[in-house]
């Protein structure tokens, strides 16, 4: 099962922005290869074995709630009959990104009125915390507030329960996952892999689409060629291991 990760569909610099033309190509490849998109319930049914385990299915997710989801991404999705699950930091909506790692030129986020309108039209929204902070660095009461208040905000403003969660930066540990599981039905992480029925329902891996900006590589992967994917995954794992060593004091300087 492919679960795709996007952030901003724009020409802004950085790995969390994908140009509209590239996004359109990626969606065209899925459509040309006969893929259909899933809703959250479809994913849960698949994961729990209540639905056929077809390979021609994809869950398309967006993190952060950038305004260009509504203006750029959504028309492309609708033209191909695709839906999406959008994870939003509820305390930041209506403003601009201002968290650690944000672009130097902050990108605008969707307003609550846009979120409510899209929710009424069938787009699903999930939690991404209240203030887009690293949940592993918070005290227990602060962490639970970020997780629980986010769900409450979404329920109150969209009239629909928040069923899914994605932790900011993908940073989780057992305590975070346990707190998320008290409020949500499923959570998606940043491990670069396909989702499988045996994967932890509160740390589902996703495919970061930053790595598939060339049609040949993306189409090859969708059609079953794993060479490029495995090479990228190995490089990504190596970088993560190096970062961990530096954080533990193992790096030079």
pLDDT at 51: 76
The percent of residues in the chain predicted with pLDDT above 90, rounded, is 89
- Are residue 59 and residue 182 in the same domain, yes or no? yes
pLDDT at 236: 81
pLDDT at 36: 95
* Mean pLDDT value of segment 198-214: 96
Output the six-digit token pair for 161. Answer: 């329960």
pTM: 0.93
Domain that holds residue 245: 227-253
Output the six-digit token pair for 100. Answer: 């650690």
pLDDT confidence band for 242 (50 / 70 / 90): low
What mean pLDDT, rounded, does the chain reach?
A: 93
- Are residue 129 and residue 236 in the same domain, yes or no? no
- How far apart (Å, rounded) are the C-alpha atoms in residues 237 and 231? 10
- How far apart (Å, rounded) are the C-alpha atoms in residues 69 and 66? 6
- Are residue 106 and residue 92 in the same domain, yes or no? yes
Relative to beta strand 8-9, strand 164-166 is unpaired
- Are residue 158 and residue 251 in the same domain, yes or no? no
pLDDT above 70 (res 252): no
The number of domains in the chain is 2
pLDDT above 60 (res 245): no
Report the alpha-carbon angle 86-46-151, nearest 5: 35
| Residue in this structure with the two tokens 């990108």, named with its chain if needed | 107
For residue 173, which phi and psi values (nearest 5 degrees)? Answer: -145, -175
pLDDT at 237: 79
pLDDT confidence band for 247 (50 / 70 / 90): very low
What CATH number is associated with residue 87? 3.20.20.370
- Are residue 8 and residue 119 in the same domain, yes or no? yes
- Are residue 190 and residue 233 in the same domain, yes or no? no
pLDDT above 60 (res 249): no
- Are residue 231 and residue 217 in the same domain, yes or no? no
* 150-169 pLDDT tens trace: 999 999 999 999 999 999 99
pLDDT above 90 (res 29): yes
- Are residue 129 and residue 80 in the same domain, yes or no? yes
- Are residue 234 and residue 216 in the same domain, yes or no? no
- Are residue 34 and residue 93 in the same domain, yes or no? yes
CA distances from 218 to 75, 107, 212, 228 (A): 21, 27, 5, 9
- Helices then strands (H, E): number in the chain? 9, 10
* Strand ranges, E, within 49-192: 57-63, 85-88, 124-127, 164-166, 186-192
pLDDT at 54: 66
* Mean pLDDT value of segment 176-195: 97
pLDDT confidence band for 3 (50 / 70 / 90): very high
pLDDT above 80 (res 174): yes
Over the range 34-58, which residues count as b (16 or more CB within 10 Å of their CB) and which as e?
ebebbebebbbebbeeeeeeeeebb
pLDDT at 15: 93
pLDDT at 253: 39
- Are residue 167 and residue 135 in the same domain, yes or no? yes
pLDDT above 60 (res 243): no
- Are residue 218 and residue 234 in the same domain, yes or no? no
Angle at which helices 174-183 and 140-158 cross, to 10°: 30
User: Helix %, strand %, coil % for the chain, to 5?
Assistant: 45, 20, 40
């Amino acid at each position: 099962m492919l679960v795709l990760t996007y952030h901003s569909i724009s020409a802004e610099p950085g790995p969390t922005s994908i140009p509209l033309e590239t996004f359109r190509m990626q969606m065209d490849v899925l459509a040309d290869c006969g893929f259909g998109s899933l809703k959250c319930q479809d994913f849960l049914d698949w994961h729990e074995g209540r639905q056929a385990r077809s390979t021609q299915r994809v869950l398309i997710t967006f993190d952060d709630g950038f305004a260009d989801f509504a203006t750029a991404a959504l028309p492309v999705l609708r033209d191909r009959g695709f839906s999406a699950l959008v994870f939003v930091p509820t305390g930041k909506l209506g403003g601009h990104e201002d968290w650690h790692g944000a672009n130097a030129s902050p990108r605008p986020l969707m307003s609550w009125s846009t979120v409510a309108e899209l929710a009424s039209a069938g787009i699903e929204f999930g939690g991404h915390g209240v203030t887009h902070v690293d949940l592993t660095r918070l005290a227990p009461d602060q962490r639970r507030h970020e997780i629980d208040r986010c769900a409450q905000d979404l329920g109150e403003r969209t009239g629909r329960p928040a069923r899914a969660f994605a932790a900011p930066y993908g940073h989780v540990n057992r305590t975070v996952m346990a707190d998320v599981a008290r409020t949500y039905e499923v959570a998606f992480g940043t491990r670069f892999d396909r989702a499988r029925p045996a994967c932890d329902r509160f740390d589902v891996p996703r495919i970061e689409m930053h790595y598939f900006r060339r049609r040949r590589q993306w189409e090859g992967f969708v059609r079953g060629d794993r060479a490029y994917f495995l090479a990228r995954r190995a490089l990504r794992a190596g970088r993560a291991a190096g970062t961990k060593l530096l954080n533990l004091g193992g790096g030079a300087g």
